Structure 1
Amino acid sequence: MKVLIVEDDSAIAANLYDYLKASGYEVDLAANGQLGLALAVAGSWDAILLDLSLPRMDGLTLCRKLREEAHRDTPVLMLTAKDALDDKLAGFAHGADDYLIKPFSLKEVGARLGALIKRYRGEVATQELRFADVRLDLTTLTVERAGRVVRLQPKCLQLLRILMLSPERVFGRAELEADIWGDELPDSDTLRAHIYTLRKALTRSGEAELIETVHGIGYRLIAGVKDAP
């Protein structure tokens, strides 16, 4: 699969490039809007990662030209630091398929990119994650445990999604912090506090513990955990 990254921040572009290459994608880069549009039109891409604020041509203009002038329907995942609703609506109005706010988790980029490509190819993308008796609806971002609605704060929801993507895999503390908070790393106890809050929400009605602490390493989901300090 081929992905075009249009991003003028060299550090972000390099991180995306390395991550996607390691995930098996063929990747090319453009550091400004004019070059990005030229590559987007000249090549055949499975998806485009598009920054909003670009030199020579901004991301909105690029996306509009790609749709209206070049008549390309390549999936576009817009990456931006602007999180206002009007900014998101503008992105969708100009032809973006999805919108991700910086700083972002590389895993979330990968998940959203994969979903966009599946939809573009007409494949059925997974709409939910399940582990034991927990169900996470990826469309509505609702969580249920044994039919009970579990209300979670956004960071706890992100944390649960990451853990459910790879059940029983041990996620290191530093990895989870980077995935959830990006470059704005939290205080040392912040992750632990969110783990505690997530555990409490998942076991509020007396259900079995699912999150295990692997001492000195991190956390994982595992069915039937009896004691998870």
Structure 2
Amino acid sequence: MRILIADDDPVVREVVRRYLERDGLEVVEAADGATALARLEAADIDLAILDLMMPPPDGIALCRGIRAGDRADIPIIMLTARGEEDDRVTGLRVGADDYVTKPFSPRELALRVASVLRRTWAAAPSGEPVLRGGPIELRSAARTVHVAGTAVELTAREFDLLAFLLANQQRVFSRTELLERVWGWNFGDQSTVTVHIKRLRAKLGAASRIDTVWGRGYAWGRSRDEGRDDAR
């Protein structure tokens, strides 16, 4: 597995590189967005770690460009020195699969990387090769999603979330439960789930059956009269 770490701080790159290499991963470094883009185009990158505030293009712009390009499925973890919720949510909205706020534990970041990679290559939770929900068809082995025959590009985490919901239709899961079952976290910001749900609804359009069950959480295909909050 080859990991890109893009950060203008050489100390951060060095520490992260050492921890990831201990886990048997190959690491490619970049000190700015332009170099990171060149690395992404030149090498087969399995996951990118992007600093939000690195020299241009910054992490947000680079993430947005990746999601609009040929390698839109690359898992992305965003690094930010800012603690404000708006910055974290912005990263998630443009397509980041995860984020870590500086200062951070290199071991924690390495564990996040392992979690994202493991779930990216895992089969759908049901173990079935194909999951369906109305006009939606999800193929776990190929990691593809089609709506009425038209391909829909999802990030790694969006795919995992959709697969989990389709494999557990009608069941209600709280944001805490989704963090544990889909992200593999027993801690974390629950707004991560909120943003991914909103992104999934937008990409699936009218085919989405992700419902908000008030006071409980989210479910695929629950009764509409139980309520849905499109802003969540």
Q: TM-score, normalised by structure 1?
A: 0.53
Structure having the higher Rg: 1
For 1:141, which of 187, 205, 214 is the aligned residue? 187
Distance apart, 1:72 and its partner CA? 2.2
Name whichever structure is richer in strand by fraction. 1
Distance apart, 1:106 and its partner CA? 1.1
Partner Cα separation in structure 1 for residue 35 and residue 91 of structure 2: 20
Q: Is the 8 A contact 1:118 1:124 kept in 2?
A: no
Count of aligned residue pairs for this structure pair: 133
Whether 1:95 aligns to 2:141 is no
The SS at the match of 1:28 is strand
> What is aligned with 2:42?
42
Paired letter, 1:11: V
Paired letter, 1:26: E
> What is aligned with 1:51?
51
> What is aligned with 1:115?
115
Partner Cα separation in structure 2 for residue 122 and residue 43 of structure 1: 23
> What is aligned with 2:29?
29
The SS at the match of 2:77 is strand
Q: What are structure 2's unaligned runs of at least 5 residues?
A: 126-179, 189-232
Q: Is the 8 A contact 1:41 1:66 kept in 2?
A: no
Once the two structures are superposed, residues 24-67 of structure 1 have per-residue CA deviations (whole angstroms, 9 ceiling, x without a partner) of: 11111010101101212332222111110111311000000011
Partner Cα separation in structure 1 for residue 101 and residue 21 of structure 2: 22
Partner Cα separation in structure 1 for residue 63 and residue 94 of structure 2: 6
> Equivalent pairs: percent with the same residue?
37
Partner Cα separation in structure 1 for residue 114 and residue 7 of structure 2: 19
Distance apart, 1:91 and its partner CA? 0.0
Q: What are structure 1's unaligned runs of at least 5 residues?
A: 126-136, 143-229
Paired letter, 2:64: R
Once the two structures are superposed, residues 58-116 of structure 1 have per-residue CA deviations (whole angstroms, 9 ceiling, x without a partner) of: 10000000111344211111111111111011001111000100011111111110110
The SS at the match of 1:77 is strand
Partner Cα separation in structure 1 for residue 4 and residue 36 of structure 2: 8
The SS at the match of 2:53 is coil
Distance apart, 1:23 and its partner CA? 1.8
Whether 1:106 aligns to 2:106 is yes
Partner Cα separation in structure 2 for residue 108 and residue 63 of structure 1: 22
